[in-house]
Amino acid sequence: MSATHILVVDDEPDIRTSIQEILEDEGYVVVVAENGEAARHALRERRPDLILLDIWMPDRDGISLLKEWGEDEDLPCPVIMMSGHGTVETAVEATRLGAYDYLEKPLSMAKLLLTIERALQAERLQRENVGLKRRTPLVLEPIGRSAAILRLREQVKRIAQHDTWVLITGEAGSGRETLARYLHAQSPRRERPFVDLSVSGIARGNAAYELFGSETGDHVHYGSLEQAAGGTLLLDEVADMDLEAQGQLLGALDTGSFLRVGGTEPVRVEVRIIAVTQRNLEEEVRAGRFREDLFYHLNVVPLHVPPLREHSEDVPELLNFYVDFFTNHEKLPYRRFSVGAQNFLRNYGWPGNIRELKNLVQRVLILGAGDEVTQNEVETALGSPQPTPTQPLEGMVSFDQPLRSARELFEKAYLEYQLEKHAANVSKMAKEAGMERTHLYRKLRSLGIEIKERR
């Protein structure tokens, strides 16, 4: 695992050496550059985690470099400006161009170290916020106390201490990304980047650009492998990667280096790979859609996330978690799920797994009313098919009989249907039928309908 990489750009040798020695004593890996051209070369060799940039240099000033690096996209990393002859206008301009902070020379080393620490922390928080906005909510660990989830968490804690590649399988929405993030958080790489690359979202032919980045003149675009340097790269739906990209990825990870698109110098990379898929990769290999050698590399440590229907005892805890989340983070009204609703949801099939459960909670909090979420409400929200008569009216009631007899047969069929629909809840039946409860009880008895048998 690589340490935090800092690039120091300053034309004064004494300052460069002093900063380098102090930062290396703090455990950072430091590369120095004496001017703008050397800084460009250092950026081509490797993406730094932070840049300390002097403003006044003989060949190209720091403000111009800052403009150049942020011209087509965001700055490659946090940049802290340094100057012994700065003005307020210069500091404002540097901040406008994206610099994290501005320090005056002579440098206070205590302030420098604190500013570096805060800049790196702000960068980590920004990456986490991007994840939160893209996939809300970002669950910190697999939720549940079932035997399956407890066993899975223990497996992940053991695996996290080793730098092996990991293959996570499971159905869509089952919590595979949550497990990958939990693994990263339990590992020694937890302070380094976690980069999520959605393979299925890459346009055909663009995989090399997304993975390895590109070079065009002095401009460098850093791909996902460099963004995740020293940390973890999650390849989401890895089975969607085309064969050419699979071969390029395998070559890069075998040799520990790669060429950016348009580049000529190899770039070293050290990263942990977690691959996620809902497909059977062995079947994909047999069908010729996935490289066998890459499969064996990825399958060093396989983990399987069970579908929610296989650990349905965790449903109540998941419901409580998402109610709390949406209440606290989206200011939705708090509502509790009734015992009947929870029991119904424990026995529901959950084809969309945890993602479907999360969406259900959000829906009933937005659209529902009252303190309690009822079983009927969740059935409606899920679009569960309601019981319907198995025969048309003509098949249930003969028209060749007295009206009174036909009416009794119809009433019995109607109330049987309502009893089934509302799971023998007489209050709900009475409300829908427009009858008083006492009158409804008498009618059920007179028609020979036994309520207890339906409970």
Q: How confident is the model at residue 452 (pLDDT cuts 50, 70, 90)?
A: low
Could you give the angle at which helices 375-382 and 353-367 cross, rounded to 10 degrees? Answer: 120
Residue 57: phi and psi, rounded to 5, are -135, 155
CA distances from 335 to 31, 155, 327, 359, 439 (A): 55, 35, 9, 15, 33
pLDDT at 334 over 80: yes
pLDDT at 1 over 70: no
Total residues found in the chain within this entry? 455
| Strand (E) or helix (H) holding 268 | strand 267-268
- Report yes or no on 437 lying in a domain: yes
Residues 6+ apart with CB under 8 A from 44: 215, 220, 263, 265
Longest Cα–Cα distance of the chain, Å, equals 110
pLDDT at 133 over 70: no
Residues 6+ apart with CB under 8 A from 172: 278, 352, 353, 355
Residues 145 and 264 in one domain: yes
- Report yes or no on 256 lying in a domain: yes
Q: Name the DSSP letter for residue 7.
A: E
- Report yes or no on 99 lying in a domain: yes
pLDDT at 271 over 50: yes
Residues 315 and 337 in one domain: yes
Residue bearing the bigger pLDDT, 423 or 318 = 318
Q: In one letter, which amino acid is 99?
A: A
Residues 6+ apart with CB under 8 A from 245: 202, 207, 208, 211
E strand map for 318-375:
336-337, 372-373
- Report yes or no on 56 lying in a domain: yes
> Rounded to two decimals, what is the model's pTM?
0.70
- Which tokens go with 389? 């008569």
CA distances from 379 to 161, 366, 382 (A): 44, 16, 5
The predicted pLDDT at position 17 comes to 92
Q: How confident is the model at residue 73 (pLDDT cuts 50, 70, 90)?
A: low
pLDDT at 364 over 90: yes
The predicted pLDDT at position 78 comes to 93
CA angle 181, 186, 187 (to 5 degrees): 100
Cβ neighbours around 109 below 10 Å, total: 13
Residues 261 and 337 in one domain: no
Residues 56 and 155 in one domain: no
The predicted pLDDT at position 128 comes to 63
Strands 5-9 and 50-54: parallel
Residues 148 and 288 in one domain: yes
Residue bearing the bigger pLDDT, 359 or 444 = 359
CA distances from 426 to 149, 412, 419, 450, 452 (A): 39, 15, 8, 12, 11
The predicted pLDDT at position 215 comes to 87
Enclosing domain of residue 334: 308-382
- State mean pLDDT over 355-380: 91
Residues 89 and 123 in one domain: yes
- Which tokens go with 172? 């869509």
- Report yes or no on 22 lying in a domain: yes
- State mean pLDDT over 85-101: 82
pLDDT at 131 over 80: no
What CATH number does the domain containing 17 carry? 3.40.50.2300
% pLDDT > 70, the chain: 90
Among 304, 337, 358, residue at a domain's last position: 304
- State mean pLDDT over 330-347: 92
- State mean pLDDT over 33-44: 89
| Strand (E) or helix (H) holding 294 | helix 292-298
Cβ neighbours around 188 below 10 Å, total: 12
pLDDT digits (tens, 9 = 90+) for 220-239: 888 999 999 899 999 999 99
| Nearest one of 277, 281, 280, 300 to 292, comparing CA atoms | 281
* CA–CA distance, 213 with 223 (Å, rounded to integer): 4
- Report yes or no on 387 lying in a domain: no
What CATH number does the domain containing 441 carry? 1.10.10.60
- Report yes or no on 312 lying in a domain: yes
Range in 132-146, 193-207, 386-400 the model is least confident about:
386-400
Burial of residue 435 (CB within 10 Å: 0-12, 13-18, 19+) is: middle
Residues 289 and 416 in one domain: no
Gyration radius (Cα) of the chain, Å: 31
Say if CB 70 and CB 100 are below 8 A apart. no
Residues 6+ apart with CB under 8 A from 376: 422, 428
- Report yes or no on 388 lying in a domain: no
Residues 48 and 127 in one domain: yes
The total number of structural domains that make up the chain: 4
pLDDT at 353 over 90: yes
Burial of residue 264 (CB within 10 Å: 0-12, 13-18, 19+) is: exposed
% pLDDT > 90, the chain: 48
Residues 32 and 119 in one domain: yes
Say if CB 304 and CB 205 are below 8 A apart. no
What CATH number does the domain containing 324 carry? 1.10.8.60
What CATH number does the domain containing 248 carry? 3.40.50.300
Residues 200 and 331 in one domain: no
Q: In one letter, which amino acid is 170?
A: G
Say if CB 285 and CB 295 are below 8 A apart. yes
Residues 212 and 286 in one domain: yes
Among 284, 304, 324, residue at a domain's last position: 304
Q: Name the DSSP letter for residue 369.
A: -
Residues 163 and 293 in one domain: yes
* CA–CA distance, 275 with 382 (Å, rounded to integer): 31
The predicted pLDDT at position 401 comes to 64
The predicted pLDDT at position 323 comes to 95
| Strand (E) or helix (H) holding 50 | strand 50-54
The predicted pLDDT at position 254 comes to 86
Q: How confident is the model at residue 30 (pLDDT cuts 50, 70, 90)?
A: very high
Among 356, 382, 408, residue at a domain's last position: 382
pLDDT digits (tens, 9 = 90+) for 388-444: 444 444 444 556 667 666 677 777 777 877 877 777 787 788 888 878 777 787 788
